[in-house]
Amino acid sequence: MQGIYLHIPFCRQACRYCDFFFSVSLRYVDDYVENLIREIELIAGQRRRTEVETLYLGGGTPSVLSDQHLEKIVEAVHKHYTFREGAEWTIECNPDDLSPVYLKQLRNKGFNRISIGIQSFHEKDLELMRRSHTSIQAEQSVRDAAAGGFENITMDLIYGIPGQSLREWEDNIEKALALPVSHISAYHLTFEPGTVFDHWRKKGRLLPVHEEESVSQFRLLRERLPDRGFDHYEISNFALQGNMSAHNLLYWSGKSYTGFGPSAHSYDGT
């Protein structure tokens, strides 16, 4: 097995576009962590012990976990799995969770790659999507992560947001490039069934952007990032040399990985 994925299905609030498996009932986090550890122990006993190349905490919002929660999870993972030297450890975080103290705790736990869910640097976009952070927190979180010792920082951006002009999208790209990031993931907004945005679409309250707008924004993305040294190595991902997501590449190259937690899946490589 080359990769481990841990799903942390908790968020402080629900974004209007998200259809991932999550809960805003944070009172269940303690119980969840204990049961996640039990699953790690159970599955580890069924697998041949091999060196692991990547660990990825996704969600949800893994940064809702306390230092104590992370300590328990990391201890369980180390107890049952062996990691190769220099293994990539990624954790997804929201900007408003990333205090200097928390960032230091993440580094002390062994995380060497941080994925920050910024989505946009414009307040109106953040409010429309019901993100929990502000544009100021978005920029500061990246600077704090770099100051805290993270050299491999990736951020998520969303384009195709209703009401977002091409100039505003260009501004998002330029602000991202001005920050110390080595990887950028840019996703087109979709109206997934069961989400608030999908409900609003059916009511005529909010409509997806026209295809021409989507194409223009994607073309701008394809032009600007490679010009600044970012290799477009996946449809939604761009990386500076040496900073492609090892965990993502593991998926595409058909290597084995094990997923823990609700909605996580596994692949044995065959």
119: domain CATH number is 3.20.20.70
> Could you read off the pLDDT tens digit of each residue along the chain, which spans 270 residues?
699 999 999 999 999 999 998 899 999 999 999 999 999 999 987 776 778 999 999 999 999 999 999 999 999 999 999 999 999 999 999 999 999 999 999 999 999 999 999 999 999 999 999 999 999 999 999 999 999 999 999 999 999 999 999 999 999 999 999 999 999 999 999 999 999 999 999 999 999 999 999 999 999 999 999 999 999 999 999 999 999 999 999 999 999 999 999 999 999 888
- Do the domain assignments include residue 53? yes
Provide the whole-model pTM: 0.96
CA nearest to 91, candidates 245, 194, 243, 208 = 245
Return the pLDDT at 61: 97
For residue 7, give its domain range: 3-260
pLDDT score for 1: 62
Q: Evaluate whether residue 268 is within a structural domain.
A: no
Identify whether 221 is part of a domain. yes
Looking at residue 150, its pLDDT comes to: 98
Is 83 within the bounds of a domain?
yes
For residue 174, being part of any structural domain is answered with yes
- Note the pLDDT of residue 50: 77
* Region for residue 240 given its phi and psi (left: phi exceeds 0; alpha: psi -120 to 50; beta: otherwise): beta
Burial grade of 23 (CB within 10 A; 0-12, 13-18, 19 or more):
middle
C-alpha–C-alpha distance, residues 78 and 71, integer Å: 11
Number of folded domains that form the chain:
1
In a domain, residue 270? The reply is no
